[in-house]
Copies of this chain bind each other. A is one copy, B any other.
Amino acid sequence: MASARLADPDTTESTNDISGTKSNDKHGKDTRYRKVKDEIKQVGSESKFHVTPVSEEEHELNNTVPARPTPELKFDIDDEADTLSNHNSITALLSSKFRDIQKRLKQYGIESPRFRKRLVSRWESMNYDVCENVLYLKDQEKYKSKKWVTLRWLSKWLVMFFIGLGTALLAATIYYVVEKLAHYKFELIQHYFDECAKNNCLYQPALLWMGINLVVTLAGASLVTFLQPLAAGSGIPYIKSYLNGIKIPGLLTFRAFVAKTVGVVLSILGGLACGKEGPMAHSGSIIAAGFGRGRINFCNGKTLSFYSVFRNDHEIRDFVAGGAASGVSSAFGAPIGGTLFSLEEAASFWNQDLTWRVFFSSMVACFATNFLISAINGDPTKLADPGLVRFNAFKFDLKFDLIEIPVFIFMAVIGGLTGALFVVMNYKLTVFRKRYLDKNWIKIIEAGLVAVVSAAVAFGLMVGVNECTDKAPFDSHAVTASVYCSDKKHNSLSTLFLTTPEGCLKALLHDPFESHGPVSLVAFILVFFLLGVWTYGLSVSSGVFIPCLAIGAAWGRLVGIGVANMMPENPNLQLDVGKFALIGAACQLGGILRTTISLTVIIVECTDDISFGLPIMIVLMISKWVGDFITTGLYDMNVEVMGLPTLPFECPPLCDDLRASDVMNAPLATFKTKEKVENIYRMLKEETFCGFPVIEDDPRTPGKGKLKGLILRNQLLVLLKKKIFCPEGQVPPRNITIKDFRDFYPVYLKVSEIELSEEEMTYVMDLKPYYNPSPYTVEQKFSLPRVFNLFRGLGLRHLIVTDENNVPVGIVTRKDLAKFRVGSKRGLVKIEQLKIQDK
């Protein structure tokens, strides 16, 4: 967590110090200092930097000790520096970046954080590596029989089954409640509409509409804001980050579940421009975590515990992968897409057995959702609705022709550009919200305001545009208001606004050619785009898939009408207007969310027609490229604003010269194998590190022994709480098992919860049975890309850096790697070093 600032070369005298420290120094005398060699011998420009020590700027959460000075930064590429060198142009590049960022930071001042250029220190990494201490081995003992291996294997499949089933039940329930209530709401409004259009009392439906929206949305927003703010939005950025390996406390709790599921129903009934699909991934994950932990923590603090065998980051994450996949699968009827969704973030840990289990659970979810929704719709054996939303109801055969590809590409470019616009606008809004709308009551009022405005604008457009059509809508249950239209006609915007956003999307995809005129569509697009931007990021549970798709479908339909009008001799094109709407929807989604493979597969599965898969893939890729040229995707933007230290898949380029010793945290806080309770307590209180190397107690070199293992803060806290210590020379009075540690998972103790007497402080704790005796280590010379691969490939939380004598000199954590971020803005690669801040 120590950070280094490179000084401006213009203001510092240039020297070039390479003789400082030989890393084969027997006693590792420089190990308590961070070494970075900055040896710039760029051909052409002989500019050399002297790098001066600077004090830290960032203060860690709970960190009360003053920051230590970080002396003498030197890049140490070759320990003897007698061979080929001169290869440090990267350092020049990087340091120019450092200066850049520094200057900007100065401009903004520390008080106004640049939301996209920082990591928030409180996000910790999950620990995917197994702590193989003696307790663990003893516990494993029990399971070391063929019977247990088989039983464990079976129970994992069983849990996955229930995860799929639970998610499907939830999806069907939400579907039922939303459809029934929304239909009732819109029928009521339509009734007043049609009554009042004749009797000149249109203020009645307007007030009714705004009133319902306001009340319901306020309820939904309050629920989310007060119960669990992490339930706001779709939750997909959080779930992606979780699968990437970040601990997000509170994300997978019962509170979040209630806020998420009840919240999304209220959001949609409250008339917000949002969908119920995105939140399914989050809800499914919570269900999975609940089943995996075998315990429910109710809101009132009560707990129901069933089994504890899966309570560790590794197992829970596997289940959550299944839950997220099930959620996506039951939302879109896309079992393959759902599986990919889970696995593309968790890719380093992909294995075929897990993949099958995830696939199984998402298949169960898809199948059960299909069964339940078919049952709700009357015939449980029909199995025609595998998900909450489907695009597959095209009455004609969707076929595409080579000749249409250019039109599609054009649409993809539009999708990319408008998508980037959406992201930029939403980003500005998000930053505004973070800065000025940070009080709970303001958040709730904003949500209410959006709901009222949504109703008001829809009302205004329906009355103002007043385009009439006599085409029956595709959905026979659709609510159609006549307003000012003659008897057999209806207001063409009414089928878009007097329905849920899903209904609106379906109408745009499947309604006949003349249902929606260009004027209505243009008005709809503008309004829905702005409402979509405004809605995403409110403190309500809401998905962004459906609004994106609806916006795209609307302008896609507009393009379809244009093409049909340009070639009136071809009547097929009128039939094909739904095809253009579909492509438009895909383009817009690609432009806003920057589709990954999984999203592509989800849309293809949702369309239920693989022959249309290829053009969908093409437009998704192009819209992604166009969008990436301008800005990151919406979810990535979210992740950046939250300061979540997600690790990319590969180490950023141009970082090959950086060494483990350059990025590690030093000086180190270490423990001896038998350590005084007082030292442990003090260290835990003063330091924010979550892992501490345990070293050999060598009296000749105090604090610099050979590495014996790694012990985690959580373990130490449990040990202190359970008082596993004794006066020196005695044997600890009680034993502790791995279950005692599991009981505290995942809600760990805080230092403030530990109470120790004066006498206990003098006792000694034997760490030997508890530390991980074989943590992964690297030598100081390891290059950043290889440290990165190790970290990413194994899902590490801590990586200890040692010198040649196996003495620990530093520790690398997730944030040390995540702070190097690649941006490819405007087609050029650039690397930024992010700040690590508290907030």
Contacts and interface: CB of A to CB of B under 8 A. Distances in A.
A562 interface: no
Contact of A350 (B339, B366, B649): B649
Nearest to A129: B786
A89 B356 CA distance: 30
A610 B605 contact: yes
B144 A356 contact: no
B336 A601 contact: yes
A542 B665 CA distance: 57
A468 to B, nearest CB: 35
A650 B353 contact: yes
A439 to B, nearest CB: 38
Nearest to A150: B829
A146 B829 contact: yes
Contacts of A614: 335, 363, 366-367, 370, 383, 386
B336 A828 contact: no
Interface in A331-350: 335-336, 339, 344, 347-348, 350
A141 B90 CA distance: 8
A804 interface: yes
A648 B351 CA distance: 8
A827 B147 CA distance: 11
A707 B474 CA distance: 73
Contacts of A370: 614
Q: How large is the interface on A (under 10, 10 to 19, 20 to 34, 35 or more residues)?
A: 35 or more
Contacts of A383: 400-402, 614
A774 B769 contact: no
Contacts of A350: 344, 347-348, 350, 649
A653 B149 CA distance: 7
Contacts of A351: 347, 649-650
A288 interface: no
Contacts of A78: 134
Contacts of A344: 350, 352, 355
A183 interface: no
A140 interface: yes
Interface in A758-811: 768-769, 773-774, 776-779, 781-783, 785-786, 789-790, 793-794, 804-806
A706 interface: yes
A277 to B, nearest CB: 17
A295 B627 CA distance: 36
Interface string A621-650: 100000000000000000000000000111
A56 interface: no
Nearest 10 interchain pairs by C-beta: A351-B649, A793-B793, A381-B402, A347-B350, A87-B141, A149-B653, A774-B782, A608-B610, A149-B829, A84-B134
14 contacts: A87-B144, A93-B144, A130-B785, A137-B657, A146-B654, A146-B829, A146-B830, A348-B348, A350-B350, A351-B650, A353-B650, A381-B403, A383-B400, A776-B790
